[in-house]
Amino acid sequence: MRQHATRTTHIAMLLLLGLFSGLSGCSWFAGDLQDPTVRLQKVDVVKAKLTEQEFVLHLRLDNPNDSDLPIRGLTFSLYLNDIKLADGESDVWATVPANGHRTLKIPLRTNLWRNLRPIAKMLENHDKPIRYRFYGVADTGVIFGPSVHLERNGEIIPGDFISE
C-alpha cells in the first residue's frame, strides 16, 4: 500500500512538472536571454494638475533574441539629471517578436511640484542638454520566467520640445 502511494506521488509530481514546463513563455532556465533595448518614442500628456501629472510613455522594445519575448509586467524609474521624476509599475502584457520590436504604452503618474524649481532651472537654457535615465525591469513568462532589464541613458535638448 505504501509503495502505491509513493508511486502515485511521483506520478503526480511528474505531471505537475510537465504541465509547468509546457506553459507558453515559461522557462526553468534563463539560458542566454539577452536584455532588449528600449527607446522612448513619444510622451503624451493625459492630465496636468498642480500636484499630479499623468503621462503615457510610448516605449519601443527591440528583442535581440531568436525567440519571442513575453512581457508580463514592468516596474521602472525615470530621472532627469539626478532628479527622480517618477517610479512606475505597469501590468502590461505583450509579446515582442523574435528579432523584432514592439511599442508599449505605459501610463505614468508623478508629482513634479516637489521638483519644480530644479526642473524650471534646467529648462531656462533651451540649448543646454538635460541628461535622462530610464531604468526598468520586465517580468517574462506566464508563471516562471526570468526578468529582463531595460535601460536607456541619453540627453534631450529642451528647445527641441518647447515651442517659442
Give pLDDT tens digits for 114-160.
888 898 888 888 888 999 899 999 998 767 778 899 999 988 887 77
Q: Name the DSSP letter for residue 29.
A: S
What topology does CATH give the domain 33-160? Answer: Immunoglobulin-like (2.60.40)
Predicted TM-score (pTM) of this structure? 0.72
| Surface-to-core class of residue 108, CB atoms within 10 Å of its CB (0-12 exposed, 13-18 middle, 19+ buried) | buried
Helix (H, G, I), strand (E, B) or coil at 99: coil
Phi and psi at 158, nearest 5°, equal -55, -35
Across the range 68-72, mean pLDDT stands at 93
**Over residues 70-90, mean pLDDT:** 92
- 84 Rama class: left (phi>0) / alpha (psi -120 to 50) / beta: beta
Predicted pLDDT at 22: 38
Position 25 pLDDT exceeds 50? no
Q: Above 70 in pLDDT, residue 63?
A: yes
Q: What is the tens place of the pLDDT at every residue in 39-62? A: 988 888 899 888 889 989 899 999
